[in-house]
Structure 1
């Protein structure tokens, strides 16, 4: 290969690489609100597809059970060839062909409650599966909300760490300037440099936490993990007027877990009805049309029949009784699970509510602390510049300010996530 060709190829590769880098650099970040993030997750997250498929499965199970009370139409065709044994009258009989066609219709009149019970249970199972879809939506909303606020929290903490680095950098320049004119000792410079290095280490950690939070949000909403996201919202405090009693009452009426447990209990009761049908008779109406002939397809000779069949099991070695007792034990279990679910939901609501209220109080106190710490830092800077304060005063004041801001951000994060947990614990429906 000539040097000219090699040079052209290298130039083309470089140009292509620059274009790719330019395209990547110019790609605008994806801007998302919390509601947009939730909508993305509802469309993309595999758990939604699984819950929807589960609901469809139980929908068809209802139709399957309902088919048990409808008529059944069947058709059969038989081709036969037979030869009778020789007899005195017919010493050498010839083979005989028989072509038979039968159309039969069967309609259950009474099943002893078996079909009705099966339909009832299937319908309750479907309702429970439908609630399972709602439950999946609520859990997914909580996951997205936690991930969204986690990214907001790490972004705000990153800003606090950056402010600390900026403040300590400016303070170090001031200390160095005073050291050069001989007004402060070398130890002040060294201590300021150490504090700045520590702040820079914290800034690196905060940046990594932010990147991880962004990847987590991408994962839950179904975007590529390296997608750059820009959040449109800020963490804010909106006071909730909900009382604990109202929250628990709402959960008892609308929480999917409670309603699912109720349907499971009702389904278990239908299972008892199915089991007890073994003690009762069944009545079936049937009819048939039959055509038979010695020539294919066998449609010459026609006869028909209609009959009503009543059957009752007189003895089955306690098989039916065993099924009934098994089903009744299932009712006892389902009833206790229903009671247990209500207690668990009530506890979950209480925990989320009290956590929200505790975070609410911390927001109020940390807001005051931030304002006072900011004023204290400014005073420490002025005193140090005037020569009446120490380097340690400035560093301590800056650390106190950073901690106060961190406490405030943490309180806001805890409040918003506790509020989201409370919505999920209560069973607040997800808008879609």
Structure 2
């Protein structure tokens, strides 16, 4: 009888590992960030914003242009005869008009356009930095969820394999007892039914595990048929309770807040940019020109130069300025309302994720206690069976209940770890560093 105990007791042993955070998880977060197109798109957007900032700064500098033109007139321009020419002498005929020009223009006052354009570009750069950070947070959360799902299914698959093998060995013992006329065929068939069910559950869990691995490979950029190195079982994350100031702390760290604040700044600068078109504009320029006709209307090409100053003062545009500025201000107000809505949603996310984390810890503690009781129940049923006080079905039922309790324990660990990842995301604290 003791051989039955030696077969089933090792199955009752389980690991309970605490950890600050799974180091493999941090590694895979980094891989997901490096691979995901969403991050690359955000980074490209940031590089674009930086280029636009440099472009806005260049508007303060003088602008040089080189140009040229050529025209041929079929009916020529008749020039006056040169001084001292005999009476009746016709002047030169000018068919060809051409020139090569070099011009310089410098804006002096643009009504605030240059200043506010540069400020808007700076805010756009900051907005894209927050967008990159936001994308990183989203990808890290997805990586966490796929990782925990794969590890949970792997642990469940390993559990079911051990359970099936243990039932198989148990079935061999019962078969020997039947051959020795110690037990009846009914006990053997009862064990066979449980063995077949365990085998089916193994096949099912293997399929679910491999599908979760494929999903994990997709977000990591691994080949779909590869089997990545992940933990064999879920660790239990250690966390500290914090009841005060969670929302305020999250609002300071969440990139969505910074992103929307940057968008508000951009919109406010666009209001000023729109208004700048209706402010006085002043600038000056200089240039040089080589071509024909030359100064004095000579047909021979020659060089000339010039200086100019430009002043434009808008007077009246039939209310266009007012309407355009009003339209841009509405965009600013919409963004401010979006910011308030986002703050409300972040507050809700923080509170619900923290509550979920607390309750998940309670579930895990309960599941661990239940698992301990289920293990003791199996031992009691084994002792009763060895003493001939209980049928084999009672042992199998106790083992089945233990398996279900272990499943609840794995689920509780999974829910705690995913709850912690969601809470860290809500707080804006997901990172690739330990």
**TM-score, scaled to structure 1:** 0.85
Residues 308-387 of structure 1 correspond to what in structure 2 (within 5 A)?
Answer: 309-387=310-388
Gaps of 5+ in 1: 1-31
- Quick check: 1:41–1:222 contact (8 Å CA) kept in 2? yes
Q: How many residues align?
A: 400
Aligned residue among 63, 72, 75 for 2:66: 75
Match of residue 64 from structure 1:
55
Residues 21-420 of structure 1 correspond to what in structure 2 (within 5 A)?
Answer: 33-82=24-73, 83-84=76-77, 94-95=93-94, 97-182=96-181, 184-232=183-231, 234-294=233-293, 300-307=302-309, 309-420=310-421
Decide whether aligned partners of structure 1 residues 33 and 297 sit closer, same or farther in structure 2, where only a CA change above 3 A counts.
farther
- The secondary structure found in structure 2 opposite 1:231 is coil
Decide whether aligned partners of structure 1 residues 92 and 116 sit closer, same or farther in structure 2, where only a CA change above 3 A counts.
closer
CA displacement at 1:65 relative to structure 2:
2.6
Between stretches 209-218 and 259-268, larger displacement belongs to 209-218
Distance in 2 (alpha carbons) for counterparts of 1:250 and 1:298: 78
- The secondary structure found in structure 1 opposite 2:66 is strand
- 1:296-339 CA-to-partner distances (Å, cap 9, x unmatched) read 997634332242x2212222232222210101111110100011
Between stretches 326-335 and 341-350, larger displacement belongs to 341-350
- Quick check: 1:134–1:429 contact (8 Å CA) kept in 2? no
Decide whether aligned partners of structure 1 residues 285 and 94 sit closer, same or farther in structure 2, where only a CA change above 3 A counts.
closer
CA displacement at 1:89 relative to structure 2:
7.0
Distance in 1 (alpha carbons) for counterparts of 2:42 and 2:233: 32
Match of residue 5 from structure 2:
none
- Quick check: 1:99–1:298 contact (8 Å CA) kept in 2? no
- Quick check: 1:244–1:350 contact (8 Å CA) kept in 2? no
Distance in 2 (alpha carbons) for counterparts of 1:271 and 1:297: 51
Distance in 2 (alpha carbons) for counterparts of 1:363 and 1:192: 31
- Quick check: 1:42–1:140 contact (8 Å CA) kept in 2? yes
CA displacement at 1:355 relative to structure 2:
1.4
Between stretches 127-136 and 97-106, larger displacement belongs to 97-106
- Quick check: 1:99–1:297 contact (8 Å CA) kept in 2? no
- The secondary structure found in structure 2 opposite 1:228 is coil
- 1:19-53 CA-to-partner distances (Å, cap 9, x unmatched) read xxxxxxxxxxxxx9222222222222322222221
CA displacement at 1:66 relative to structure 2:
2.6
Distance in 1 (alpha carbons) for counterparts of 2:40 and 2:79: 70
Distance in 1 (alpha carbons) for counterparts of 2:212 and 2:204: 12
